[in-house]
Amino acid sequence: MTEPLYRAEALTRRYRNGRTEVLALDAVDLSLDAGQRLGIVGESGSGKSTLVRLLAGLDRPTSGRVWFEGTEITGLPERRLGFLRAAVQMVFQDPRSSLNPRMNVGDIITEPLRSRLVRRQLPGGIDHARRLAEVLEAVDLPADSGTRYPHEFSGGQRQRIAIARALAPKPEVLIADEPVSALDVSVRAQVLNLLTDLVAAQGLTLIVVSHDLMVVRHLCDRLAVMRQGRIVEQGDTASVYGDPQTDYTKALLAAVPKIRIEG
């Protein structure tokens, strides 16, 4: 049997908020094969972002275990996570806060290539100028964008810059946390279509966090619905969308804002 790309077992995460303990993630099991496109949906506070932070190695579980390509990443020190830093890249919700306004776009996009941990995973190295040109073309930005600064671009273009930065180290996995919720409705479809095309063209595994099932339906072939730190329903997207099995999933389908996606 082929080892899944990701495997999570009984993932639990508790936080302290003053004297109160908050259970953000409650014994979550998950398996994801290479090349799959997983959508994680649920209302605010359901545990979606906590789960993907654990998968990306940006946080540690209170209990439970995570494996990536057969290697357990739970508890590994940062110096031993270079393989994960190169293989897994994230695109965050708001490009205004995720892009350093003092850096030009070229330096922003090539920043992951300068990470010591990432460089160790790229034995032959990567030509920064060539890679910058490649990813700018891939996200449909002008070739001279590298000399400009984030404030010179629109919101949709800034998110394309964030996607280009994530693609720069040639990752295997792209994690997108609410990738279009901060964008104008008029450009959301363009960014979603871009992500769809890039994932297909580069053979990426995709994990998308969203409160909007329409976004996930457009991008993902698998769906996990979260509520109060647990996965309450999961399966292929068409089946869950067409025949939801829980009242909570039905309520999400009925309540979330819907956008029209063309293309």
Whole-number pLDDT of residue 86: 87
Domain boundaries of the chain, sorted by first residue: 34-55+80-255
Q: Which residues contact 40 (CB under 8 A, 6 or more apart)?
A: 48, 51, 52, 207, 208, 209, 210, 224, 226
pLDDT of residue 186: 80
Helix and strand tally (H, E) in the chain? 11, 10
pLDDT at 261: 47
DSSP, residue by residue, 48-109: HHHHHHHHTTSS--SEEEEEETTEE-TT--GGG-HHHHHHEEEE-S-HHHHS-TTS-HHHHH
> What CATH homologous superfamily does 34-55+80-255 map to?
P-loop containing nucleotide triphosphate hydrolases (3.40.50.300)
The tens-digit pLDDT sequence of the chain (263 residues) is 678 999 999 999 999 888 899 999 999 999 999 999 999 998 888 999 999 999 999 999 999 999 999 999 998 998 888 889 889 999 988 777 888 999 999 999 999 888 766 766 665 667 889 999 999 999 999 999 999 999 999 989 999 999 999 999 999 999 999 888 878 888 888 999 999 999 999 999 999 998 878 888 889 999 999 999 999 999 999 999 888 899 998 888 887 655 454 54
Please state the pTM of the whole predicted model.
0.90
Task: State the pLDDT at residue 263.
Answer: 47
